[in-house]
A and B are shown apart, each in its own frame.
Chain A
Amino acid sequence: MTAAGDTSGGTVLDLDRLLGMANQIGDFFAPYPAARRAEGIRNHLRTYWDPRMREALLTYIDNGGAGLQASVIEGARLLRDAAAPAKGYYGPPQA
């Protein structure tokens, strides 16, 4: 997906780079219990990632998400479920 007025097409970042970054985030949240892990990943993506990067990740997940950690897929999907946009947050993931 591209932002309005953007004529370049394709993902905003090279897809491999994006997936690598996503899995690194997954690595960090791995020791947390499942619900908090997913929430932590969601919050991180929401707070720090340009929306085009999040959208590219979600599109990739919609197409199967090969190579992504399960927790990253779960966390990213929460981006769509959340009713209200979360405010940014530092600290351990709260579920």
Chain B
Amino acid sequence: MPNPAKPDRSVVTTCAYCGVGCGFKAETREGRLLRMIPWKDSKANHGHSCVKGRFAFDYCLHPDRVRTPLIRRSIDEPWQPVSWDDAFRHTASELRRIQAAHGPKSIGAISSSRCTNEEIFLVQKLARAVFGNNNIDNCARICHSPTQFGLSATLGWGAASQHFDSILRADVIMVVGANPTEGHPVFGSLLKRRVREGARLIVIDPRRTETVESPHCRATVHLPLRPGTNVAVLNSIAHVIVREGLYSEAFVRERCEWEEFEGWTGLVGADRYAPERIGPEAGLEPAAIREAARLYAGGPNSAIYYGLGVTEHSQGSTGVMCLGNLALACGMLGREGVGVNPLRGQGNVQGGSCLGSWPHVFSGYRFVTDPDVRGSFEREWSVELDGEPGLRLPNMFDAALTGHFRGMYIMGEDPVQSDPNQQHVIAALRRMECVVLHDLFLNETSKYAHVFLPGSSSLEKEGTFTSAERRVNRVRKVVEPVAGLQDWEIVVRLMNALGYPVHYDDASQILDEIARLSPAYRGMSFALLDRLGSAQWPCDEQAPEGTEVLHTERFPRANGRGTFMLTEYVATRERTNDRYPLLLTTGRILSQYNVGTQTRRTANSRWHPEDRLDIHPEDARARGIADGDWVALTSRFGSTRLRARLTQRLNPGVVYTTFHHAESKANALTSDLSDWATNCPEYKVTAVDVVRVTEHRDAQHATPARAADEVHA
């Protein structure tokens, strides 16, 4: 083979991994996927890529892919392969049987941020129009639901105010609870580039991440706060800005609700938020808090980027409000180089938010309690809709344990591995009579499922994703679906089997329906996206090609003004004590992706064959732990075993692990605490103890059970 194989076909599509939403050219030869080439004309990545999107696509062709629907009477029985028709018939009859016996609200659905907008919209329709309830949620519940709540409350829209390229105009970049060089690598490269060009960087994160310090990129201020003290620290930054008069009075008077601003200055200006008071509680130097505040307020262009380190707390929504408040007070909104921007973990978290996979809002963030809004959906869908909010994902599990919730359709999620307090989730699933899992692979959750519907990977279907910068990108079919149906077709067939007649010729008609029912998407269509490559919502008559920067003239609130929320710090109930003296926080690394369903089935695992527990050498020494030792990690909720890695990237008292491998069971440890407003779990703070254990454990290296092993052929 002197020369490499030359591709004979190229399809532009969107990466299935993180919320940057990189464009790729999927190159094939004779129908076989050869490589993914970053698309130079993509406005998200401009031809750049990371190890996941560029190379880690082999999972699509992995032998573990389930190729036929499976059913079983009970979870103790082996799976039986069945035809699609039988699978739909069986699922429909089970779900209807449960509803007949236990009421219309006894079943629900969850969709995933790995699904396309079209699929997410359809799953919402499945719950609301076909199940006849609002028991519909999605996995953004457990990551960025506080973003929607906190940013909607202050700025009017629960979405990034900027496009990614805006960062190239920023003078000060504040990264809070995020590690973009690992979690959002292509955006991380853009950030580092801007820092090399002279922008100053503030990082608020318990860990000295690669974003804090890497070649030619170093944070001017790093606030390694104790996990759980975000709101205290952000209020303290606000305190300095208020007390030193660093806010932009002109912006607040012109663009915001002045009286709410005064209420806010009263709260954060109180002595209890002085850096000298908060510093000791958060483990920070007061001077560093002051420096961060002055840098941010000084701009002239300061931009905030944040991640799950802000949202996944019992005060997650409050933390997001703090960021909205800060940006409003300093006038850091409405132009390039500024803004408040959530970094979304999965490719379509923003779409999941937009497309109504929530128990309280329809697509377009409009409340189910609003009769006018409801009317517009009822007319389009020809069915009467429930005007009461439904159950949220964690409450569905709660309600399963009390016998009120007995059937669940799960699209593209593995709640046993990804949701908190694993034992609770498993107990809830065991109580259900029909768990329908729609996914690429059997996983931890499928152990408790009764129906498995084999899904299509993002290379096997048509649709759109909405990235973290509100950019709607096209997902295009590169190869045929391995199980024969695109995911949106599976949802439609299930709706039909449940007695709801609906038909779409292709996925474009679903986006057309979305456009009719969601104001910010009014101008979206496959035709527009094919012409422009992508478009950022809002996209409507006023902005026919979409909108890069939000809030330039008014905020999308009734009076057009931004507002301030009172963000009192309330310490989490999850605290250390003698028995659980360390705080565990969790995160992810570059080569792996979330629960690893995809990346663990690629060579990326060579970089990260197992999850490790990062622990400070001081804490390790006190426990007789050496680098590479096996340790038992115990919280009030459960325990697991990992190998330790000694590192100075953490302060003493804090330990850290990733959750990419099912065998690590990080979520056996996490608590049942959640955000006050949205029930987003408090993944980022768990009191634990760590002890060295002598016996070696091979479980981490065991191969997960193959689909074939569990199926009766």
Contacts and interface: CB of A to CB of B under 8 A. Distances in A.
Contacts of B102: 5-8
Interface in A71-95: 85-92
Contacts of A50: 105, 359, 388-391, 395
B153 interface: yes
Nearest to A87: B370
B394 to A, nearest CB: 9
Nearest to A30: B568
A64 B147 CA distance: 35
Contacts, number: 119
Name which of B368, B387, B395 has the most chain A CB atoms within 10 A of its CB: B395
A67 B206 CA distance: 34
A49 B402 contact: no
Interface in B85-136: 100-106
Q: Is the interface of B mostly helix, strand, loop or mixed?
A: loop
A88 B360 CA distance: 8
Given A6-B103, A14-B402, A85-B387, A24 B676 contact: yes
Nearest to B369: A88
Given A21-B679, A28-B677, A46-B369, A91 B399 contact: no
Interface in B530-577: 557, 563-566, 568, 570
B153 A24 contact: no
Contact of B104 (A5, A12, A44, A88): A5
B153 A90 contact: yes
Contact of A92 (B260, B395, B679): B260
Interface string B261-293: 001000100000000000000000000000000
B287 to A, nearest CB: 28
B149 interface: yes
Nearest to A17: B398
Contacts of B674: 21
Nearest to A11: B402
B361 interface: yes
A17 to B, nearest CB: 6
Given A7-B101, A47-B360, A92-B260, A87 B367 contact: yes
Contacts of A87: 367, 369-370
Contact of B370 (A28, A32, A88): A88
B401 interface: yes
Contacts of B105: 3, 6, 50, 52
A17 B399 CA distance: 11
Interface string A11-39: 11110010001001101101110000000
Given A10-B403, A46-B369, A90 B152 contact: yes
B564 A90 contact: no
A84 B100 CA distance: 31
A52 B402 CA distance: 13
A85 B153 CA distance: 20
Given A28-B570, A28-B677, A44-B677, A8 B402 contact: yes
A86 B570 contact: no
A53 interface: yes
Contacts of B402: 8, 10-14
B162 interface: no
B404 interface: yes
A6 B133 CA distance: 14
B525 interface: no
Contacts of B263: 92
A46 B388 CA distance: 8
From A9, A27, A48, name the one whose CB has the most chain B CB atoms within 10 angstroms.
A48
Interface centre among B152, B314, B566, B678 (most CB of A within 10 A): B566
A92 B564 contact: yes
Contacts of B422: none
Contact of A28 (B103, B318, B392, B399): B318
Contact of A91 (B390, B557, B676): B557
Contact of A48 (B101, B389, B398): B389
A4 interface: yes
A24 B317 CA distance: 12
Nearest to A15: B402
Interface in B377-433: 387-392, 395, 398-399, 401-404
Interface in B309-323: 314, 317-318
A44 B149 CA distance: 11
A8 B432 CA distance: 13
15 contacts: A2-B404, A6-B102, A6-B103, A7-B103, A8-B102, A11-B402, A12-B398, A12-B402, A21-B674, A25-B677, A27-B568, A31-B267, A48-B678, A50-B391, A88-B368
Interface of B: 100-106, 149, 152-154, 156, 260, 263, 267, 314, 317-318, 359-361, 367-370, 387-392, 395, 398-399, 401-404, 557, 563-566, 568, 570, 672, 674, 676-679
**Which 7 residue pairs across A and B have the least CB separation, nearest first?**
A88-B367, A8-B403, A5-B103, A24-B676, A90-B152, A6-B103, A31-B566
Interface of A: 2-14, 17, 21, 24-25, 27-28, 30-32, 44, 46-53, 85-92
